[in-house]
Chains A and B, each alone.
Chain A
Amino acid sequence: MATASGQMIDAREVVRQRLMGRRFELGGALFEGLLLAAVLVAFAILALLLGTVIVSGGPVIAERGVDFLTAPLASNPDTAGVGQGIFASVVLTVFVIIVAIPIGIGAAIYLEEYARDTTFTRLINTTVRNLAGVPAIVYGLLGVAFFVTIAEPLGNNGRNIYAGGLTLGVLVLPIVIITSAEALRAVPWTIREAAFGVGATRWEVVRSHVLPYAAPGIFTGTILTLARAFGETAPLLVVGAVAGSFRYTADNLFDQLSGPYSALPTIIFTWAKRPEVGFRANTAAAIIVLLVALLTVNAVAIYLRNRFERRW
C-alpha cells in the first residue's frame, strides 16, 4: 500500500516535470541553428561582396577622386574614368521617368479604379504579370527590332541613348504598374465611398482622395523601380551601348545624346572582362559608384515609406 502510493507520487512528479521542465532538445536546436545559418550565410555573402569591392576599388576612388568620376573611357586604366557612364545612366533614368512612370501609374489607376472584372481587364492583368517575368535581355531584342529603327534618324544608326531609354522604360513599365496598383489597393474603400457620397465623379474621387493617400506608396515603388533600371545591363548591350571605349566627338548635349554611349553597368561589364590588373581595380571602383547611387536611392525610398506610410 505504502509502496503503491509512493509510486503514484513518483509518477505524478515525473509527469509534472515533463510538462514544466524546459528540457534541451538537441534536434530542435540544430534545426533552428541550420535555419539561422541560412540567413547568416546570405548576409555574410553581402558583407563579403561589399568588403571585396571596397578593398580593391577604394584606393582608386581615394587616389583619383573626382577625376575618376569625370574622366572619359580610355584604354589606359590609370586615366580611364566613368564620366560618360554616369552621364548616360542619368539620361537613361530621365528617359525611364518620362516613358514608364506616367503610363505605368495611368495603367494602374485604370486597373484598380476604373476597370470592371471583364475579359479585357483580366487579359491586361495577365499580360502585365507575364511581362514582369520576361528576361531583361528579351526586352533588348524588342529594342533592336523596333526602338533602334525608330531612333535611326536621330544618329549613330539608331544605337543611341534614345533607343536605350525607350527599351529600359518598357522594361520597367510592368513593375511600375504592379507596385502602383498595390499602393492604390491599400487605400480603403470607405475613402472612396465618402467622396462618391458627396457627389464626386470617379476622376474627382481618384484625383483628390485616392491619389493623395496612395502617393507615398506609389512614389516609393517608383523610386525602387528606377534603381532597378539603373543597374540593368543586358538590354543596353543588345540595343547598342558601347562595350569598349569611345570619345564624344561633339560638345553640345544634343549631339552627345545621338552618338555612342555606355552606361555605368555596361562599363562595369566591359572592364570586368579585361585582363589588366589596373582594370580589375577600376571595375571595383565603378561598382562602388553604382552601389553608392543605388543604396542612396533605396535609403531615400525606405525613409519616405516609413515617414509617410499610413496604417488603416
Chain B
Amino acid sequence: MAATPGALTPAPTLDDLRGAGPRRRRELIVRLVFMAAASVSILISLLIILSLIGRAGAFLFQVDLGSLLERGWFPRRDLYGLPTIVAGTLVVAGIGMLVATPLGLGAAIYLSEYATPRVRRSLKPILEVLAGIPSVVLGYFAITVISPNVVQVVCTDATIFSMASAGIAVGILITPLVASVAEDALYAVPRSLREASYGLGARKRTTSLRIVFPAAVSGIVAALILGVSRAVGETMIVAIAAGSTGGALFEVNPCAGGQTMTAAMTALAIGSEQVRGSGLAFPSLFFVGLLLFAMTLALNLVADAYVRRVRKQI
C-alpha cells in the first residue's frame, strides 16, 4: 500500500513501536535465561544450608550433647569436644591477626598516604601476587621456614608443627586482603579533609593518623573483620602446620600443636575410610561445617554493614 501523495501517513500506534513479534519473543527468552543464571546463586545457598543443616541435625540427635562441651577432640572414640577445636581456631586466627594487622594497616597507610603514584603502581601488583599464592604453599612455608627460624627460636621445645607457625602463615595469607580493603577505605577519604588539616599546620603524620584514619575507620574495621573471617575459614595451612591429624587434646599454648575446626574437618574427610565404623564421624563433619559457616557468615555480614557505612558517608 503505497501512500498517495498528499495523504497523511497514519500516526504510529503502540503496536508499531513495540517491534516485531519474533524480536520481542527473543528478548523475553534472553531475559529469562539470564534471570535463571542469576537465580543459580540462590539455589546454591539453599543447597549449602540444606546439606549442612540436614546432617548436622542428624549428628545432634545421635551424639551425647553433654560430651560436646567436654575437652578433647577424638572422633574415633566418639568424643567431640567443641571447646577444643574452637579454642584452636581462635588461637590460630588471633596470631594471624597479630601479624596481619600491623603489616596490613601499615602497608595500607603507606600506599594510600605516603607512596608516590609511581611507587604505588609498582607496589600494588606485588601485593596482588602475594594474595594469589595458594594457601597450601604457605602451609609448606610454615613448616620449612617459619617453624625452624621463628617459632623454634622462641619456643625451644616446639616441634615443626605448632599453632604459632600456622598462625603466622595465616597472618601472611590475610595481610594482602587486609591491606587492600583498608587501602580502598583510606584512599576514598576526600582530599579536602587532608588539605584542611595541612592548612591548620598539621604534619603529615598527624594528618594521616588523626584525620584520614578516623575518617576511614569503618572501612578499616571491615578490613579487619574480613581478615578474621578468612583466618577462621583457612584450611590448608592449619591442616599442614598446626600439628594434629586425627584427634587432639584441649590446647591454647601457641607453641604446642592444636586442632582447629577446619583442620578437624580435613582430617575427618581424608580419614573417612578409617573412621566410618564409628558412624558419627561423617555427620560430625557437617556439624563443624555448619558452625564454621555460621561464624564466617556473621563476620561477613558485620563487615558488609561497615563497608556500606563507608559508601553512605562519601
Contact = CB atoms under 8 A, between A and B. Distances in A.
A146 to B, nearest CB: 6
B233 interface: yes
B41 A127 contact: yes
Nearest to A297: B132
A135 interface: yes
Interface in B92-117: 102-107, 109-111, 114
B144 interface: yes
B134 A290 contact: yes
Contacts of A173: 40-41, 44
A36 B110 contact: yes
A49 B141 contact: yes
Interface string A256-293: 00000000010011001100000010011001001100
A141 interface: yes
A127 B37 contact: no
B137 to A, nearest CB: 5
A91 B260 CA distance: 31
A193 B234 CA distance: 45
A128 to B, nearest CB: 5
A32 interface: yes
22 contacts: A32-B114, A35-B110, A38-B104, A38-B105, A42-B176, A43-B126, A43-B130, A109-B37, A110-B38, A124-B38, A124-B42, A127-B42, A130-B297, A130-B300, A135-B293, A144-B285, A145-B55, A173-B40, A203-B31, A231-B133, A272-B143, A284-B140
A146 B51 contact: yes
A46 interface: yes
A41 interface: yes
A243 B270 contact: yes
A137 B106 contact: no
B205 A27 contact: yes
Contacts of A227: 132
B289 interface: yes
A102 interface: yes
Contacts of A139: 48
Interface residues of B, number: 87
Given A35-B106, A36-B110, A39-B107, A265 B136 contact: yes
B125 A290 contact: no
A294 B140 contact: no
A133 interface: yes
Contacts of B114: 32, 35-36
Given A107-B40, A110-B34, A269-B240, A237 B270 contact: yes
A-B pairs, top 4 by smallest CB distance, nearest first, are A38-B106, A135-B233, A231-B134, A106-B37
Given A38-B103, A127-B42, A231 B127 contact: no
Contacts of B102: 38
A231 B205 CA distance: 40
B265 interface: yes
A80 B18 CA distance: 67
Given A107-B34, A110-B38, A272 B45 contact: no
A51 B155 CA distance: 25
Contact of B204 (A28, A129, A135): A28
B218 interface: no
Interface stretch (B22-30, B189-197, B247-255): B22-30
Interface in A98-143: 102-104, 106-107, 109-111, 113-115, 123-124, 127-131, 133-142
Interface in B151-201: 172, 175-176, 179
Contact of A234 (B45, B107, B232, B236): B236
B136 A49 contact: no
Nearest to B282: A144
Interface string B255-295: 00000001001100110000000000000011001001100
B39 interface: yes
Given A42-B179, A130-B300, 11 more contacts: A28-B203, A32-B114, A35-B106, A45-B172, A46-B129, A48-B145, A49-B133, A129-B304, A173-B44, A234-B236, A269-B139
Contact of B42 (A39, A104, A111, A123): A123
B63 interface: no
A302 interface: yes
A144 B235 CA distance: 17
A17 interface: no
A106 B204 CA distance: 47
Nearest to A177: B41
B44 A170 contact: yes
Given A123-B42, A290-B134, A234 B129 contact: no
B79 interface: no
Given A35-B110, A46-B129, A127-B45, A136 B140 contact: no
Q: Which of the listed residues B26, B36, B41, B233 has the most CB atoms from chain A within 10 Å of its own CB?
A: B41
